[in-house]
Structure 1
């Protein structure tokens, strides 16, 4: 399995896990965080389909998706600033213990996605950029998500 395929597989599994966790959330702040994460995941769907050959390459659509991911990443630290809990939340307490690192990881995702949204021209660039986005997501989820 290529690194890119592995990243897409992790993303698909995360999406399935996320859908199950989203059910039954009572805390509105936690729901807002989950909605933000879902919007980020939704941003990966169109370019992901392009690199898997399920959709024709469209640089404009891929740039728009990358811009959506960047915008959600920019909002993420604010969504997590207050230490809110819910039995269905997958956020680990280490987020607030290491909030500067959490924020740095979110800023990295924003930077990677923003770069892709402004410079993408080829399918190879999309493949590489999605790999970087997947790695940025994974770096945060490995530490800060159940």
Structure 2
């Protein structure tokens, strides 16, 4: 089970790396890498919730822990309004900094509240997590 999980995460990470090719600003690259980690770990939870991945308590716990860390890292990663043509971050992030960081904290709390002991609880938790991601992307990310 763990080998399939690691292969899955490696494939997602490789596709994220290709999508971030050509980024010139190192701060933007770091932000994109962080958000790529969010995407990869959300995929583990989401694909588990949908049944595309078999329920693996260790894998969902690892994804949950990584997402909590990711959410906590978002404010520091976005503190500087660095830009790059490949960036999907909108200027509204820095114009509404308090709201943006509150949304990152909301995501962290939503992830932390998910009980990963059963498939049903992961499925229920994904709805809440997805709402927090959507609330932020709607306002602060290009090409939604």
Query: Which range, TM-score by smaller chain?
Result: 0.7 to 0.9
Check conservation: 1:21, 1:90, Cα contact below 8 A. Answer: no
The alignment covers a number of residue pairs equal to 129
Preserved contact between residue 22 and residue 86 of structure 2 (Cα < 8 Å): yes
State the secondary structure of the residue aligned to 2:135: helix
Q: CA deviation at 1:84?
A: 0.4
CA RMSD in angstroms, aligned pairs only:
2.0
**Is structure 2 residue 130 aligned with structure 1 residue 134?**
yes
Q: Considering Cα pairs closer than 8 Å and 6+ residues apart, tell me whether 1 or 2 has the greater RCO.
A: 1
Q: CA deviation at 1:53?
A: 1.8
Gaps of 5+ in 2: 1-15
Using the size of structure 1 for normalisation, the TM-score is 0.81
- The within-5 A match list for 1:48-67 is 48-67=46-65
The separation in 2 between residues aligned to 1:56 and 1:90, in whole angstroms, is: 32
Deviation digits for residues 42-67 of structure 1, max 9, x if unmatched?
10222222222222212232122111
Normalised by the length of structure 2, the TM-score is 0.82
Query: After TM superposition, where is structure 1 displaced by more than 3 Å over at least 4 residues in a row?
Result: 18-21
The answer to whether the 8 A contact 2:50-2:123 is kept is no
1:1-146 equivalences in 2 (<5 Å)? 22-116=20-114, 119-146=115-142
